Amino acid sequence: MSHTLDIQNGVVEMSHGSGGRASHTLIRELFASHLDNPYLRQNNDNARFDAPPGSLVMSVDSHVVSPIFFPGGDLGALAVHGTLNDVAMSGAVPLHLTAGFILEEGYPLADLERIVMSMARAAKDAGVEIIAGDTKVVERGHGDGVFITTTGIGVIPPGSARISGDAAQPGDAILISGSMGDHGAAIMLARESMDFDHAIQSDSAALHDLIAHMLRIVPNIHCLRDPTRGGLATTLNELAEQSNVGMVIEESAIPIQPQVAAVCELLGLDPLTLANEGKLIAICPPDQAQTLLKAMRAHPLGENAAIIGEVTEADAGMVQLVTGFGGRRILDWLAGTPLPRIC
C-alpha cells in the first residue's frame, strides 16, 4: 500500500476504512486538503467551538441521491444545502456542519475528490465550515458509490420570533419562493438518460441568506419549510396537520416551469409531489403577505415567489386545491415512492 493517494487512477479500498495508515492518508490528502479549516487542523475526534448567545438548533440528514452527479448539482453540494436548509427553516443562522461518508470499495478516488471539492465550495459559499467528519468503507456491492450524512448546527438570535410548523393560524397567507418540481424532474431525466430540448436543472441551493433577508423585513413569519421529499403537496399536509388547520391553494398561482410540466405529463407524475432542494414555503399573517412577497422577489433565490393560498379554520388537517377550472379537489400526501433516492 502506497502512502500517497493516486487520486486520478486509484479507487477506494477496504484499507481506507481500516483506521490505519491508509485511512489517515485518505483523510489527509483528500478530505482535509479540500475541507481545511482550523477545527479540522486540530486532528481531534471532535470539534470544540464557542456558541453565540441564543437558542441552538441541530439537524441531521442522510443523502443517497442517484445519480450522484446530475444537472444543477451533485451529492456533495446537496449534502451541504439539504442540512443547512433544515437548520435555517427555524430562522436559525447556520454555524457549522459535520459530514459522515459511507464509501463503497472500488469507487474512483477522482469522483470522490470531485464530490468533496463540491462540498467545500458549497460550504464556503454558504459561509460555514465542515468541522468534523467520519469515513467508513463497505465491501464492493454493498453500497452505491458514496452516501453522505451531514449534521448542521445553527443559532436563533435572542429575541427572535418563534417559527415552527405548528404555528400556522387561520387567515395566514401561504407563499412559495419559486417554481415547483425542478429537482425531482432533473433527477428523473438524469436517471433515465432522457434528452429534452430544454434541459432541466436541479434547484439545489442554500436558503439561509434568503430567509435572513425575509426576516429582516417580516420578522413575524409563522412557518418556514422546504418542500423536499413529497414536494409541495406533502409539505403542506405536514404543516396543516401539525398546526391543526386547513389550507386552500390556487393551482393557477403555483409557478411550474413549462419543461417540468411537460416531463410530468409525459411520465404521469404530479409536479406538486416532486422534490425541491432550493425552494421554501412561508406562512405569515395576511397583512404582511404582500410585503413578504416583495422582499422574496428582491432576492435572487426568490425572484419567482408567489402567494398561492391561505390557511383556513375549517377542514383541519386537509389541503384543498382550487383547480384551473374553478373546481376543488383534495391535495393529498404523496402515496408510494414514484421517485426514490432523489436526495
Tens digit of each residue's pLDDT, the chain (343 residues): 557 899 999 999 999 999 899 999 999 999 999 999 999 999 899 999 999 999 999 999 999 999 999 999 999 999 999 999 999 999 999 999 999 999 999 999 999 999 999 999 999 999 999 999 999 999 999 999 999 999 999 999 999 999 999 999 999 999 999 999 999 999 999 987 776 656 899 999 999 999 999 999 999 999 999 999 999 999 999 999 999 999 999 999 999 999 999 999 988 899 999 999 999 999 999 999 999 999 999 999 999 999 999 999 999 999 999 998 889 999 999 887 777 888 9
Those residues with Cβ within 8 angstroms of residue 328's Cβ, 6 or more apart along the chain or in another chain: 248, 320, 321, 322
Same-domain check for residues 23 and 83 = yes
Q: Does residue 281 sit in the same domain as residue 189?
A: yes
Residues 191 and 288 in one domain: yes
Between strands 93-104 and 129-138, the pairing is parallel
Q: What pLDDT does 337 receive?
A: 74
The Cα 123–Cα 135 span in angstroms is 19
Judge residue 273's burial from the number of C-beta atoms within 10 Å of its C-beta, 0-12 exposed, 13-18 middle, 19 or more buried: buried
Q: Are 42 and 50 in contact (CB under 8 A)?
A: no
Is 194 found in the same domain as 116? no
CB within 8 Å of 38: residues ≥ 6 apart:
none
**DSSP H helical ranges for 101-230:** 109-126, 182-192, 208-217
Residues 144 and 176 occupy one common structural domain: no
Nearest C-alpha neighbor of 248 from the set 327, 193, 180: 327
If one counts every other C-beta atom within 10 angstroms of the C-beta of residue 261, the result is: 15
Q: Cβ contacts of residue 149 below 8 Å, gap of 6+? A: 60, 61, 62, 63, 79, 99, 100, 102
* 339 in any annotated domain: no
Number of domains in the chain: 2
**163 inside domain:** no
Task: Write 25-31 long-range contacts (CB < 8 A, 24+).
Answer: 26/135, 27/135, 29/4, 29/5, 30/5, 30/109, 30/112, 30/113, 30/116, 31/101, 31/116, 31/133, 31/135
What range defines the domain where residue 144 resides?
Answer: 11-156
Sheet of 319-322, strands arranged across: 223-225, 281-284, 173-176, 306-312, 246-250, 319-322, 328-330
Q: Look at residues 193, 169, 34, 180 and name the one whose alpha carbon lies nearest to residue 109.
A: 34
pLDDT at res. 324: 87
Q: Name residue, grid cell 432542494.
A: 277
Rounded distance between C-alpha atoms, residue 251 and residue 245, angstroms = 19
- Cα(120)–Cα(129) distance, integer angstroms: 8
DSSP letter, residue 315: S
Check the CA dihedral 178-183-188-189 and report its sign. positive
**Contact predicate 224/291, CB 8 Å:** no
In a domain, 224, yes or no: yes
Task: Choose one of 156, 190, 213: the last residue of a domain.
Answer: 156
Give me the sign of the Cα torsion angle 175, 313, 270, 163: positive
**CATH classification of the domain holding 111:** 3.30.1330.10
Last residue of a domain, one of 111, 127, 156: 156
From CA 112, how far away is CA 109, in angstroms rounded?
5
How many C-beta atoms lie closer than 10 Å to residue 277's C-beta? 29
Do 136 and 178 fall into the same domain? no
pLDDT value for 113:
98
For position 199, what pLDDT does the model report?
A: 81
* Cβ(118)–Cβ(63) below 8 Å: no
pLDDT at position 335 is 81
Domain assignment present for 69: yes
pLDDT reported for residue 334: 86
Give 6's contacts (C-beta < 8 A, 6+ positions apart). Answer: 109
- My answer on whether 214 and 241 are in the same domain is yes
Give the per-residue pLDDT at 195.
67
Distance set, CA 318 to CA 75, 119, 230, 253 (Å):
34, 38, 16, 19
Asked if the structure places residue 6 within a domain, the reply is no
39 plus 99 within the same structural domain: yes
Final residue of a structural domain among 156, 188, 208: 156
